[in-house]
Amino acid sequence: MTAQRRTTIIAGACLAVSLTACVLLQHRLDQIRPESTIEDVLYIDSPKVVKRASLGFDGLMACMYWTRTVQYFGHRHYELSHTYNELAPLLEITTALDPHLMPPYQFGASFLAPAPPNGAGQPDRAIKLMEYGIEHNPDNWHLYYDLAFVYYTELKDYKKASEIFDRGSRVPDAHPFLKVMAAQTAQHAGDYTTARLLWSATFDTAREKQIRQNALEHLRAIQVDEDVSHLQAAVTRFGERTGRLPSSISELCTTEHLPGVPVDPDGNAYTMTPEGRILVENPDNFPFASKGLPPGYKRSGLPKFHTKL
């Protein structure tokens, strides 16, 4: 074998081995240092400073910060953390760098406002973010939607929500749905129908996976709440009619002329306690349901996106 051949083989082997080693080592390194990244990132947490430091490459930096935000949120979410303190600064920096980047606003609407563990619990910052977005993108109807969304879901300020939906509906090329929502929130604010409309709209228009999952969970919860209230109302009616509690849920359903026992979105039948309380089978699978929970049930405080998209 000539010297050149031998060198080629050895160098080639070195190349292959080193490449593999590098890939493996990077994996290991990632495990050692996941936390440090965000602290590094937010070493500069003032949007103004970041903007100046970007040397004009704002767009690129905005993309990078957005990527980091999504990573950050997903990471903390699945690590079952309870706080998202860096979410607001991250979103603020991203939108400061590029005010016309849309996904951050929707992300903020979905996850800045709700209380931990589902979000950062900072509805006021969420509102600030939306208003900043509207200021820079006055013709984007979706931002009005996002702002109204926050007022509706977290602050329960239905009047304000309706106003904003209305404002948004006047924007050229606004989705006709905004007018519908304006009317709905004005008149049937607390209804399940309205809530369902809202979350369906979010689910349909969002492209970001976590936002869609969040919306889906809310929709499932609404279904459960609605079913449980109807069933619970039926129990009350039964009691008024017969003067006693139904002996079983099947008896209740037969009396109500239902084809069978209603099932929850997972396909499990609702149950009834001897005291006449309607329960959902696995409350853990419906993190946002407020009805049908067993007495003394405490949420484990861990948000769970049960359904896979």
100 CB-contact burial (10 Å; exposed 0-12 / middle 13-18 / buried 19+): exposed
- SS3 (DSSP) at 300: coil
Residue 55 within binding range of another protein, rule CB under 8 A: no
Q: At its nearest, how many Å lie between another protein and the CB of residue 41?
A: 9
* Among the residue ranges 37-45, 125-133, 144-152, 273-281, the one whose residues contact another protein (CB under 8 A): 37-45
Helices 123-136/141-153 angle, 10° precision: 170
- Judged by beta carbon, residue 12 or residue 301, the one nearer another protein is 12
Cβ neighbours for 224, distance < 8 A, ≥ 6 positions apart: 264, 265, 280, 286, 289, 291, 292
Distance CA 250, CA 271 (A): 9
Residues 46, 54, 71, 250: which binds another protein (CB under 8 A)? Answer: 71
CB of 92 vs another protein, minimal distance in Å: 18
Q: Which of 45, 54, 58, 64 binds another protein (CB under 8 A)?
A: 64
Coil, helix or strand for 297? coil
- Using the rule CB under 8 A, is 239 a contact of another protein? no
Beta strand 271-272 pairing with 278-279: antiparallel
The SS3 of residue 282 is: coil
Residue 279: C-alpha distances to residues 175, 184, 262, 287, 288 (Å) = 38, 29, 12, 14, 15
Cα–Cα distance for residue pair 184/207, rounded to 1 Å: 25
* Per CB under 8 A, 240 contacts another protein: no
Interface of this chain with another protein, residues 82 to 111, rule: CB under 8 A: none
Instruction: Tell whether residue 260 is a contact of another protein (CB under 8 A).
Output: no
Q: Which of 7, 248, 282, 307 binds another protein (CB under 8 A)?
A: 7
CB-nearer residue toward another protein: 31 or 267? 31
Q: Which is nearer to another protein, 25 or 115 (CB)?
A: 25
By CB under 8 A, name the one of 22, 49, 53, 80 that touches another protein. 22
What are the angstrom distances between the C-alpha of 78 and each of 149, 197, 234? 25, 28, 39
Shortest Å, Cβ 273 to another protein = 45
Smallest gap from residue 59 Cβ to another protein (A): 14
Identify the residue among 18, 83, 273, 290 touching another protein (CB under 8 A): 18
Q: Please state, in angstroms and rounded to a whole number, the distance separating the CA atoms of residues 120 and 116.
A: 6
CA distance 147 to 201: 14
Least distance CB 213 / another protein (angstroms): 15
Cβ atoms of residues 280 and 223 within 8 Å: no
Say which amino acid occupies 16.
A
State which of residues 21, 53, 263, 302 lies at the interface with another protein (CB under 8 A): 21
Nearer to another protein, 11 or 233 (CB): 11
1, 32, 55, 309: residue in contact with another protein (rule CB under 8 A): 32
* Residues making contact with another protein (CB under 8 A): 2-4, 7-8, 11-12, 14-15, 17-19, 21-23, 25-26, 28-30, 32-33, 36-37, 39-40, 43, 64, 67-68, 70-71
